Amino acid sequence: MLFIKNATVYGPERLPGTSSILIDQGRIRSLGPSSDLAAPPGATVIDATGFTVVPGFIDLQFNGAFGHDFTNDAAPIWSVAARLPRFGVTSFLPTIITAPLDRVAAGQQVIAAGPPQGFTGAMPLGLHVEGPYLNVAKKGAHNPKYLRPPDRKEVADWSPSTGIRLVTIAPELPGALEVITDLSRRGVLVSAGHSMATYEEAMAAFDAGVRYGTHLFSAMPSLAHREPGLPGALLTDSRPLVGFIADGVHTHQCIIDLVWRALGSARLSLVTDAMAALGMPPGWHRLGDYDVQVDATSARLDARTLAGSILSLDRALRNVIRITGCSLESVLPTLTTNNAKAIGLGHDRGRIAIGFVADLVVLSPDLEVYSTVAAGQVAYTAGDAA
C-alpha cells in the first residue's frame, strides 16, 4: 500500500483543502480530506505537504527517447517506458511512423508480450501508427518511398485489441474515407494529419469518423482566410480533439496563445512528438529512415523541416501556463482526461478518483516533477538516477 498525505490535489478539478490518497493493488482506494484519512499500518507514506498531486500525463504521440527510435526497433519500448516517469508520463502511445508495415507488426508484438518481470514505469497503451497513408506533399520526416493510398485489407486486423489505438491518415487520399470508417467502428481513434485536405475534405473526414488532429499546423496547409483547410476545420468543428506540440518551435508562442483561446481545455490535446534525442545530448539522432540534427531546442532534417521534437510533456504543461497565463487546473485535462477519453480509456485513467488506476504526479511549487507514481508504484523521485 502507498499513502500520499497532505497534498493539494487536482483530479483534474481542484479538491478543497489538503487531501490524502490511499493506493492499494495499483488503484486508488480512498481519497479525501487529510483530516479524515490516516495511513494504514504498513503503508509506505509520501508526505506531500506543500506539493501538488495531479493525474499522470498521457502522451498520444511519442516516437522514442533516450537514443531509441521505435520505428527502427520496437524492442526498447519497455525500457524507454521505465524512464518516462521522470517527465510525469505514466502512459503513452509508442508511435511508428511511415515504414514497411512489418514495423507496425513488430510494435504490436512488443506490446502484446507485456512488460518484463518487475517492470515499473509508464504503460504503453497501444500504438499510434502515423503513416504510410499520408500525403507526399506534407511528408515532413516520413520517407516518401513507403507512402501510398489507404488499403482496407492492410488494416483489417487493426484494433485496440491488437495493439492499435490511434492511426493518422491524410483524409483526402483515395480510399481514405472507407478506411476511416472501418477503423473508427473498431474503436481506433482516427486522426487527420500530414495532409493537404481542404476544409470540405476535412469535414467529410469528420463525418466518416475522424476524431483527432495530428500536431495542428504542422504538416498541414497554412490557415488562409478564404481557404481554411484542415487547420480551420480542426479549430472550429466541435467533434475532433486536436493534438498540439507546445514547444514554441513548431509554432510561434503567440500561436500557442491563440490555440488555447480557440480550443481551451475542452478540445486541446498536448503531445510531444518526441524522438530518440529526448533525454540525450545534442547531435545526430535517428527518426525512422533519417538521421536528424538536434540542437538545444529542436530536431531538424534541414533548415526548413522539423523532425519530431525534444519536448517533454511536463515542459509542455509549463509552457502553456507561462505563455497563456492559464491556470494549472484549466490545462490539466489537455494531457490527462482528454487523452484518456479519446482512446477509450476515460473510465479507468486520466483522473484521480476512487477505483481508477493510480497514476499520479507530485509537482513542486514551480511545477517541476518531484515524484511519479505509475500503477501504484513509485516510479521516479527527483534525484534518482534516470
| CA atoms within 13 Å, Cβ hemisphere of 84 | 36
Contact 52, 7 (CB under 8 A): yes
Distance, in Å, from the CA atom of 232 to the CA atom of 237, rounded to the nearest integer, reads 8
Q: Reply yes or no on whether 273 is catalytic.
A: yes
Q: How many residues are recorded in the chain?
A: 386
Catalytic residue among 273, 302, 314, 384: 273
| Cell numbers describing residue 71 | 520505428
Distance, in Å, from the CA atom of 239 to the CA atom of 224, rounded to the nearest integer, reads 21
Give the 3-state DSSP-derived string for 360-379, with helices as H, strands as E and coil as C.
EEEECCCCCEEEEEECCEEE
Residue 254: its H or E element: helix 253-267
Contact 188, 159 (CB under 8 A): yes
DSSP tag of 222: P
Distance, in Å, from the CA atom of 386 to the CA atom of 383, rounded to the nearest integer, reads 9
Residue with cell 507561462: 322
| Cell numbers describing residue 219 | 504538416
Distance, in Å, from the CA atom of 17 to the CA atom of 94, rounded to the nearest integer, reads 37
Q: Residue 293: beta bridge partners?
A: 284, 300
**DSSP assignment string, 264-302:** HHHHEEE---B-TTTTS-SEEEEETTEEEEE-SS-EESS
350: exposed, middle or buried (C-beta count within 10 Å: 0-12, 13-18, 19+)? buried
Say what the alpha-carbon torsion angle 77, 83, 87, 92 is, to the nearest 10 degrees: 20
CA distances from 6 to 28, 33, 45, 326, 377 (A): 16, 8, 11, 25, 19
Phi and psi (nearest 5°) for 20?
-125, 155
| Cell numbers describing residue 124 | 504503453
Which active-site residues does the annotation give? Answer: 273
